[in-house]
Amino acid sequence: MRILVANVNTTESMTEGIAEAARAVASPGTEIVGITPAFGAESCEGNFESYLAAIAVMDAIQRYEGEYDAVIQAGYGEHGREGLQELLTVPVVDITEAAASTAMYVGRSYSVVTTLDRTVPLIEDRLLLAGMMERCASVRSSGLGVLELEADPERAVEAIVAEAERAVRDDRAEVIVLGCGGMAELKDRVVERCGVPVVDGVQAAVAVAEGLVQLGLTTSKSRTYAPPRPKRVTGFPVPRAS
Amino acid sequence: MRILVANVNTTESMTEGIAEAARAVASPGTEIVGITPAFGAESCEGNFESYLAAIAVMDAIQRYEGEYDAVIQAGYGEHGREGLQELLTVPVVDITEAAASTAMYVGRSYSVVTTLDRTVPLIEDRLLLAGMMERCASVRSSGLGVLELEADPERAVEAIVAEAERAVRDDRAEVIVLGCGGMAELKDRVVERCGVPVVDGVQAAVAVAEGLVQLGLTTSKSRTYAPPRPKRVTGFPVPRAS
Amino acid sequence: MRILVANVNTTESMTEGIAEAARAVASPGTEIVGITPAFGAESCEGNFESYLAAIAVMDAIQRYEGEYDAVIQAGYGEHGREGLQELLTVPVVDITEAAASTAMYVGRSYSVVTTLDRTVPLIEDRLLLAGMMERCASVRSSGLGVLELEADPERAVEAIVAEAERAVRDDRAEVIVLGCGGMAELKDRVVERCGVPVVDGVQAAVAVAEGLVQLGLTTSKSRTYAPPRPKRVTGFPVPRAS
Amino acid sequence: MRILVANVNTTESMTEGIAEAARAVASPGTEIVGITPAFGAESCEGNFESYLAAIAVMDAIQRYEGEYDAVIQAGYGEHGREGLQELLTVPVVDITEAAASTAMYVGRSYSVVTTLDRTVPLIEDRLLLAGMMERCASVRSSGLGVLELEADPERAVEAIVAEAERAVRDDRAEVIVLGCGGMAELKDRVVERCGVPVVDGVQAAVAVAEGLVQLGLTTSKSRTYAPPRPKRVTGFPVPRAS
Amino acid sequence: MRILVANVNTTESMTEGIAEAARAVASPGTEIVGITPAFGAESCEGNFESYLAAIAVMDAIQRYEGEYDAVIQAGYGEHGREGLQELLTVPVVDITEAAASTAMYVGRSYSVVTTLDRTVPLIEDRLLLAGMMERCASVRSSGLGVLELEADPERAVEAIVAEAERAVRDDRAEVIVLGCGGMAELKDRVVERCGVPVVDGVQAAVAVAEGLVQLGLTTSKSRTYAPPRPKRVTGFPVPRAS
Amino acid sequence: MRILVANVNTTESMTEGIAEAARAVASPGTEIVGITPAFGAESCEGNFESYLAAIAVMDAIQRYEGEYDAVIQAGYGEHGREGLQELLTVPVVDITEAAASTAMYVGRSYSVVTTLDRTVPLIEDRLLLAGMMERCASVRSSGLGVLELEADPERAVEAIVAEAERAVRDDRAEVIVLGCGGMAELKDRVVERCGVPVVDGVQAAVAVAEGLVQLGLTTSKSRTYAPPRPKRVTGFPVPRAS
């Protein structure tokens, strides 16, 4: 099976990191294809950038010409999953939700450790809309921007572990979720340091997507995710600036 | 004061209708400027179109060159308000929320009567995220598409009144909210037929926006709606196809 | 238009302060009339006093002989709004709720800073019943009684600012609401000190009330706020002790 | 032990009915004293009347000169319990809450069958504030006014049983609560007709009050129900019109 | 009346302590019979032990040959109450729930102070399922195992009082609930030290059970607690190892 | 990998059906081992039987002598998952939860169609405790007992489809979950008849369990699911009657 893993920002090296993390857990027969949007922000850290990413991901998926069995939207707390579900029939998995549902199977409550403080509300919104907030003990920020994760992995690990420890001690989290697509590469080192299971959203999403394909499930087209009605739409796919 | 009222679809006649509805309740010193996005769908009836509208409205507001005191996003259940709040300092008012908070002052519970069944979840999502779902008795669809409202107002009034009556009788609604920017013109006729107060979102938003300006309030920049961080962003404002 | 602004306690100087705060934001054509109950407590800081205020405000409004377009109940966390809504057709606005709905437009979450610890539960109860608790980050007490606010404004400002800062830092509030009718006069000084928007309930209520009148809305009489049924009632309006 | 059972309206025959219902389940050593307010409405069917009752009951209890071990406020969905708790140290039991907590011990969910449709929101508000709404399947109205219960018991039984049956079938209630102080006398006949346990609020309150006294518990004075602070209060106890 | 008070562990001295605590508040005509399960853990401190206790208590009650009017399950946060309700017609009272509903009558919110940290989730689950979580300010652990309570009462009192003080100060609890069947004996000493009412679950359950019997109520058999359907069941009552 | 799939009742033919359903979706390298409890009820349709099953499943798993990578508890709405999680380190997946989390990926809301009305509350309880109730539109019963499913598959399909249709139309479900371990065999025929995706809990659980193993996750041992403390426990594993 082929799974498209869409980065939400325009940083290709991050797409690569995400795809590698995905491949590390994918089943033998699964091909992972990383997708980088053609426009948008170099990192998503707020609503404006996230809304832009929503369209940029839909645009990139729409322009992809091969076949595929599932799509993973690899932005933590990002907008857009519902739009993709309208446009496609194959399962669409948001990593925020995949991490949450996975974490709930191995602990009674989980905390998300994310990047900047300002992305906390976006993640909370996603979890609330997905109906997966009940067992979320907290969403905590490490204070690091998305690109800083790449620039200084040592510092990132320290900051993330520190928040994870606070989540376990103060918020009673029993599982830690890494709340940023770009954290995938750091996972093993965080696992080493934390006494509780650590879930990476991208990898969780691979397992969820493979599972949905395996079960033969596709997105319900009965109401919310029915295909857009036939009508005049301009500006999509987004015209390439010449 | 000047208030920009942004339609979420590309149908100019609808922008006109919305702006007129806004002017009908605006205070003497208030100038209403209707904004039509440069791209997107001719009507918003789903998540894909709504996400596209989010960017199209931000694009249109960003390109607007005059001064203004507040922005109204005139799409019922549409995405994007949080993005605008990051980009701007002046108050941004979503008509879904303005209708809800207004309705709550004149009745214990309210029901929204909207267009198609498929837009119900979008409205529920907006109300949930805004923390205004508690007093929502129901979101009901009239079964009519956005553009059908314009095409056959008689039928629209009948369908809307029928659902409003069910909301009052079965869901215990004490106020009816017209859940579509394009319903503004039908309001007086629905009021005539319904025994309970009827709130039009666009008009409610004008009152809310004027009130916020009057109180000297601007959007909090402390966390969620802080301006986007300086970074490389491409594709916004959206390049015009040449 | 004329708006009655009812103080909930019997301290006339506080009625004056409240009315002045209201006038400071009222539109040019709006007349603000301060109303002081004929009986009750010199300050409301608990349920007993609040219930007494509920009746005293209804009594005072009932005895008012002029015409008016809206009523503001200017007690933070006080009982009685629903009773007034049964007795009247014009909109009735509780400042607790007006502050909350206003704050929700300029920040993702708000905290209320009120007077004594014992009034916290009353405010929480009001917000819960109004369906506006979801985006309330916290209700915090400054530890000062209502009358102490008037007696020592310097100390009041310090105490309120201190709690506001804790709310922003620890509870993630993005807007501060001044949770006491008598705090209106301190608002400007608190604004100076706090980096986030500050909402005064009385002033927010003026904007909300003007908006409702502007929209031509009156209280729904369909169920909860229907006029009292005709029956034998004694002791209301409350007989004046001779 | 002596328990004061306060009617919330001024109809003495109803006080008698309530007291009798209470006596029917009281332990041998328990004296039940019926209290009728000196003013208020002849029946409570709305917020205005209920707020008036809150003060009238406090006034009547305050003027009672004997000793007593607990107070029952025998109005279904009425305001005032928290005020009494501030004024007194002995336990105060609201029949709305006593019925709910009792019903939850003998079934997974309960429905309240009350009088008029307009009293439904008052009951829901009380249950919400008491934290006892979770297991409430529904609050249903029989369409009968409080005084009609007395005037035509046959019709009352029929109407109540009909709603109880709907609650069991449609709302999945496993217990029925009689939601009006004046229904106490009808209980046995409703039990006969209904296949599920029937809880009368007044009688449940007697059991709860006796239990609290038996356990030596009194109202916590640590915060919400601390005694009113010393201050100037006029108009309470309410002066008798001369 | 006779009430069976079932300990959930196999430690007979603890059954004795529980029964004595029950007798201390039981009405003159009430006989308390302590029941010790024939198998299970010597103390219940987790889900496995609690599930085993659920069956062990049902087994012990099923084998009891006398008559009785009510059953109290005296484990804090333990599984099993719903099963007993299916097997029996007389009221079944879980001490977790009895403590909660009792506490809610004498304060606006309560905190539970229990034994080990790991039992906190079990208690929260019980309260959630019972619909009594709304007014629970917190469930706090003293860090002491069940059997340590018996072994070193001095240390137990200190640890419990310390947590109770934190609950009152930090979580705004107005009542403290002793969250372990084995704490009954320590109650008086904790009361001495704490300024707020203290509720022991076993004693609260006695009052609740007596009340239900007094009201003539039995468990609703309409759906959830209907008797098991006739079918082949093996292994219950649990065969005694020979 | 090897996954133990534990039936909750003693009917071996049902274990076989469940194991076959599991094998139908298991990955090539996955071995499915069906486990039948040594005691309990021939079908689980209530709390008593479910509590007995909790212990019987733990007993059976404990006695299993081979190695395994994950355990699936194949009872819909049954007790016990938390106990297994304490006893084991490998992931434990309850089919009620697996079906819910899977359904949430392919539709905005799901309804469960189960067997008897009396099992509805058990399923609701499980979903509530798992934090997966938010997107559950309804739990509906087909009115058929567990064993009737096997006896008359034609009638079962009709009854299940009828409820599924009601769930889609009246409760706005976008996905149907088959709420009984024994329904696995009927899935294909229900899919044929229903226009929305159908999720079988057993098969969903296989995908979830494989995913967890693939991700290298094991149950968090930090608090709720820590191993039972060393102590005297009798009666487990349950002694075999001689």
Same domain? For E141 and E119 the reply is: yes
Say yes or no for a CB contact (<8 Å) between C233 and D52: yes
Q: Are residues B43 and B103 in the same domain?
A: no
The token pair that represents F57 in the structure block: 């499943």
* pLDDT over 90 at B155, yes or no: no
**Is residue B183 over pLDDT 80?**
no
Please compute the mean of the pLDDT values over residues F69-75 and round it to a whole number: 97
Tokens of B237: 């404002």
Residues of D in contact with E225 (CB under 8 A): 107-108, 174
Rounded Cα distance between F88 and F60, Å, is: 13
| Element at A73 (helix H, strand E) | strand A70-73
Residue C47, domain member (yes or no): yes
What confidence score (pLDDT) does residue C2 get? 98
Q: What is the pLDDT of residues A81-94, one digit of tens each?
A: 999 999 999 999 99
Q: How far is CA A240 from the centre of its chain?
A: 26
Question: Residue C26: pLDDT above 80?
Answer: yes
Residue B108 sits at the chain C interface (C-beta within 8 Å): yes
Q: Smallest Cβ distance to E234: which of F40, F79, F229?
A: F40
The pLDDT assigned to E182 comes to: 66
Confidence band for E242, pLDDT divided at 50, 70 and 90: low
Question: What domain range includes position E70?
Answer: 2-94+204-214
Is E106 within 8 Å of D217 when comparing Cβ atoms?
yes
Is pLDDT above 70 for C184?
A: no
C104 with C179, same domain: the answer is yes
Q: Is B166 helix (H, G, I), strand (E, B) or coil?
A: helix
pLDDT band at B148 (very low <50, low <70, confident <90, very high): confident
Residue of C nearest to D54 (CA): C51
Alpha carbons within 13 A on the beta-carbon side of F60: 25
- Name the band, by pLDDT with cuts 50, 70 and 90, for residue D101: very high
Q: Does B229 contact A47 at a Cβ distance shorter than 8 Å?
A: no
Over the stretch E52-78, which tens digit does the pLDDT of each residue have?
A: 999 999 999 999 999 999 999 999 999
**pLDDT computed for residue C187 by the predictor:** 77
E173 in the same domain as E101: yes
Q: Decide if A128 is inside a domain.
A: yes
Q: C181 pLDDT exceeds 70?
A: no
Mean pLDDT of all residues in B40-61: 97
Cβ-based neighbours of C214, under 8 Å, separated by 6 or more: B25, B27, B207, B210
ipTM (interface predicted TM):
0.96
Selected for mutation to probe chain F from A32, A72, A101 (highest F CB count within 10 Å) is A101
Domain assignment present for residue F230? The answer is no
Over residues F97-124, the mean pLDDT reads: 96
Partner-chain contact B58 A48, CB within 8 Å: yes
D173 with D137: CB under 8 angstroms?
A: yes
| The predicted structure's pLDDT at residue E181 | 65
Query: Which residues touch A114 (CB under 8 Å, ≥6 apart)?
Result: A76, A77, A120, A123, A139, A140, A141, A142, A179, A180
Residues 6+ apart with CB under 8 A from C118: C45, C46, D223, D224, D226
Residue F112 lies in a domain: yes
Written as tens digits, the pLDDT of chain A (242 aa) is: 999 999 999 999 999 999 999 999 999 999 999 999 999 999 999 999 999 999 999 999 999 999 999 999 999 999 999 999 999 999 999 999 999 999 999 999 999 999 899 999 999 999 999 999 999 999 999 988 877 877 888 888 889 899 999 999 999 999 999 987 667 667 777 778 878 999 999 999 999 999 999 999 999 999 999 999 999 999 999 988 65
**C-alpha torsion angle, residues A128, A130, A136, A139 (rounded to 10):** -60
State the average pLDDT over residues C137-161: 87
Return the number of other C-beta atoms located less than 10 Å from residue B151's C-beta: 10
| C-alpha pair distances (Å), F49 with each of D108, E58, F4, F78 | 18, 11, 21, 9
- Chain F segment 8-47 residues within 8 A of E by beta carbon are 10, 38-43, 45-47
pLDDT tens for each residue of C114-136 = 989 999 999 999 999 999 999 99
Question: Using CB atoms, which residue from F130, F133, F134 is nearest to A104?
Answer: F130
pLDDT tens for residues E84-111? 999 999 999 999 999 999 999 999 999 9
CATH number at residue F178: 3.40.50.12500
Q: Is residue F142 part of a domain?
A: yes
Q: Alpha carbon F179 to chain centroid distance?
A: 8
Mind listing the pLDDT tens digit for each residue in F128-139? Answer: 999 999 999 999
**For residue D184, is pLDDT > 70?**
no
Range in D27-36, F154-163, F217-226 with the lowest mean pLDDT: F154-163
Whether E186 and E101 share a structural domain? yes
Q: What are phi and psi of C43, to 5 degrees?
A: -155, 150
What is the spatial distance between Cα A156 and Cα A116, in angstroms, rounded to a whole number? 12
Q: Answer whether residue F73 shows pLDDT above 90.
A: yes
When the pLDDT of each residue in chain D is averaged and rounded to a whole number, the result is: 94
Q: How far is A211 from chain B (nearest CA, A)?
A: 25
Q: Are residues A55 and A128 in the same domain?
A: no
Mean pLDDT of C162-179: 94
Give the model's pLDDT for residue A81.
Answer: 98
Out of F42, F83, F128, name the one closest to residue E47 (CB): F83
Average confidence score pLDDT of chain E: 94
pLDDT at B182: 66
Q: Which residue has the tokens 């518990």?
A: D217
Tokens describing residue C166? 């804790």
pLDDT over threshold 70, residue B242: no
Contacting residues for C16 by C-beta, under 8 A, at least 6 apart: C34
**Nearest CA-CA distance, residue C214 and chain B, Å:** 7
pLDDT of residue F181: 66
Report which DSSP code applies to D180.
S
Confidence of residue F182 (pLDDT cuts 50, 70, 90): low
E122, pLDDT greater than 80: yes
Q: What are phi and psi of A134, to 5 degrees?
A: -60, -40
Task: Quote the pLDDT of residue C208.
Answer: 98
Instruction: Please give the residue that has the higher pLDDT: either D191 or C43.
Output: C43
Residues E109, E79 share a domain: no
Please, do chains E and D touch (3+ CB pairs < 8 Å)?
yes
Specify whether C44 is located in the same domain as C164. Answer: no
Q: CB distance F218–A91 less than 8 Å?
A: no
Residue A136 lies in a domain: yes
A223 within a domain of the structure (yes/no): no
At D100, the amino acid letter reads: A
What is the residue type of B82? E
**Residue pair C199/C110 in contact by the 8 Å Cβ criterion:** yes
| Interface touch C215/B199, C-beta < 8 Å | yes
Distance CA D219, CA C129 (A): 24
Q: Does position F76 have pLDDT exceeding 60, yes or no?
A: yes
Write out chain B residues lying below 8 Å of A129, CB-based. 125, 128-129
DSSP D82-109: HHHHHH-SS-EEEHHHHHHHHHHHHSS-
- Are residues D58 and D126 both part of a single domain? no
* pLDDT at D124 (0 to 100): 97
Contact D150, D182 (CB under 8 A): yes
Count the domains in chain E. 2
Asked if D224's CB is within 8 angstroms of E207's CB, the reply is no
- Of residues B149 and C91, more confidence is placed in C91
pLDDT in tens, E147-189: 787 788 888 888 999 999 999 999 999 999 998 766 766 777 7
What is the structure's pLDDT at F149?
Answer: 77
Contact status, residue A95 vs residue A199, Cβ threshold 8 Å: no
Instruction: Name the residue in chain D with its Cα closest to that of E102.
Output: D212
Q: Are residues C88 and C158 in the same domain?
A: no
Do C124 and C80 fall within a single domain?
no
A103-157 confidence digits (pLDDT tens)? 999 999 999 999 899 999 999 999 999 999 999 999 999 988 877 877 888 888 8
Statement to judge: residues A119 and A190 lie in one domain: yes
Q: Are strands B40-41 and A233-234 parallel, antiparallel or unpaired?
A: antiparallel
Q: Which residue of F has its CA nearest to A202?
A: F215
pLDDT value, residue B193: 80
Residue E226 is encoded by which pair of tokens?
């209907």
In contact, F199 and A215? CB cutoff 8 Å:
yes
Q: Each residue of C199-221: pLDDT tens digit?
A: 999 999 999 999 999 999 999 99
**In this structure, is residue B242 part of a structural domain?**
no
Sign of CA pseudo-dihedral D95, D98, D103, D109: positive
**pLDDT of amino acid E184:** 67
Q: Which residue in A178, A220, A225 has the most chain F C-beta atoms within 10 A of its own C-beta, making it the best mutation to test that interface?
A: A220
How many alpha carbons lie under 13 Å from residue C228 in its C-beta half-sphere? Answer: 23
